[in-house]
Chain A
Amino acid sequence: MSAALNLSHEPVTKIANGKIAMWAFLASELMFFSGFFGTFIVLRNTNYQAFFDASHHLNWMLALVNTFILIGSSLTMAMAIYKLERRENGAFQVYLGLTILGACGFLVVKYFEYSAKWHDGLFPSQENHSLFYSFYFLMTGFHALHVIGGMIPMLFMLFKSFTKKGYYHPVKVEVLGLYWHFVDLMWIFIFPALYLIFP
């Protein structure tokens, strides 16, 4: 199984091939998000009044809660890797479970945020707020999709860890951890850009 996924180590750098592949993937992800940020800043500077008005309908407190949830889940993910490397399967399951719980919590908060916007009629089709909320839903929506994308392999790993065979693949979990930390990193930029940049 490991050979099929080519998670062997590069002989000179001693870095797992899967890890290098994930970093390369994250580099492409970074370029994807840079398109959002670049156009957001350009259009913000040329439509300041509209962006300013629209942004004040956002609930930055909910976003702050989500920031803490993601930071916490980053810590539990790092802890899960640490415990698996030491073959502490029980602790690994607890920390991975907490990470999944954090991801669920993030999505629940996001659901409340989205439903409030929907209730208030704040979505891209409305005049004036159209441009800002296009960015809002595009950036946070893609970010939420990334959260869901991370949860799927996490659930798989957690499920496998409860089987008789167990799940001892620290490199695979570490590679998934890189992805999960990247999701946290993007939120670190999205949070001030959308919720705080308009004082």
Chain B
Amino acid sequence: MSHDHGNILPSYMKVFATLCTMTLVTVAAAKLVHFPDILFIPGYVVNIAVGLAIAVFKVVCVMYIFMHLKFDHPMLRFFVYIPVFLFFVMSFGFNLEFGGKESNDKVTRTVYQQKHPNAHHGSGHGAGH
């Protein structure tokens, strides 16, 4: 029998509202906002990083509230943290250079600039190849 979490309905509604809002923010960040270069990180990578950060936030909300990770015994979290860590290693571990081999970066920038000619490239590092 499952344990009682008290009145959890307000938390469910908050998570639902958060997920809907953050979904719209993800779309807006991807479609409307074109971030400038930040130090050595190209703007299009910042766009992807923002989308990824929002996705991670949404996942944490679902896991902790909808999946009851917040209320269950903390030992269960190791079943989650370790696979999630491995998921990120396997998904992104091969890509730590951000596709930054110069030839790839050049193609990416060229395509991106053709699509968004007015996008600002702050540092100028590697821009305009």
Query: Do A and B interact with each other, yes or no?
Result: yes
Given the interface pairs A31-B86, A174-B2, A196-B30, the reply to whether A184 lies near B62 with Cβ below 8 Å is yes
- Contact call A41/B73, Cβ cutoff below 8 A: no
- Contact call A38/B94, Cβ cutoff below 8 A: yes
Does B9 interact with chain A (Cβ within 8 Å)? yes
- How many angstroms between the C-alpha atoms of A177 and B54 in the bound complex? 23
- How many angstroms between the C-alpha atoms of A97 and B66 in the bound complex? 18
- How far is the CB of B28 from the nearest CB of chain A, in Å? 10
Of A60-68, A126-134, A135-143, the one with at least 4 CB within 8 A of chain B:
A60-68
Q: Please, which residue of chain B has its CB at the minimum distance from the CB of A36? A: B91
**How many residues of A sit at the interface, in one of the four size bands?**
35 or more
- Contact call A192/B26, Cβ cutoff below 8 A: yes
Cβ of A101: which chain B residues have Cβ within 8 Å of it? none
Cβ of B23: which chain A residues have Cβ within 8 Å of it? 64, 67-68, 71
Does A81 interact with chain B (Cβ within 8 Å)? yes
- How far is the CB of B1 from the nearest CB of chain A, in Å? 6
Pick from B12, B66, B82 the residue with the most CB of A within 10 Å.
B66
Q: Please, which residue of chain A has its CB at the minimum distance from the CB of B2? A: A170
Cβ of A44: which chain B residues have Cβ within 8 Å of it? 99
Given the interface pairs A60-B27, A188-B55, A192-B55, the reply to whether A15 lies near B76 with Cβ below 8 Å is yes
Contacting B at CB under 8 A, from A160-199, are 170-171, 174, 177-178, 181, 184-185, 188-189, 191-192, 196-197, 199
- Contact call A199/B62, Cβ cutoff below 8 A: no
Does A125 interact with chain B (Cβ within 8 Å)? no
- How far is the CB of B75 from the nearest CB of chain A, in Å? 5
Does B123 interact with chain A (Cβ within 8 Å)? no
Q: Please, which residue of chain B has its CB at the minimum distance from the CB of A190? A: B55
Cβ of A42: which chain B residues have Cβ within 8 Å of it? 94-95
- How many angstroms between the C-alpha atoms of A44 and B82 in the bound complex? 26
Cβ of B108: which chain A residues have Cβ within 8 Å of it? 45, 48
> 13 A–B contact pairs at CB < 8 A?
A13-B72, A13-B75, A15-B76, A45-B98, A46-B99, A48-B111, A52-B115, A64-B27, A78-B66, A177-B67, A181-B67, A189-B55, A196-B51
Q: Using CB atoms and an 8 Å cutoff, list the residues of chain B in contact with chain A.
A: 1-4, 8-9, 12, 15-16, 19-20, 23, 26-27, 30-31, 34, 44, 47-48, 51-52, 54-55, 58-59, 62-63, 65-68, 72-73, 75-76, 79-80, 82-84, 86-87, 90-95, 98-99, 104, 107-108, 111-112, 115-116
Please give 8 more A-B residue pairs, beta carbons under 8 A apart, in addition to A27-B80, A46-B104, A82-B12.
Answer: A14-B73, A37-B90, A38-B91, A49-B107, A60-B27, A184-B62, A188-B55, A192-B26
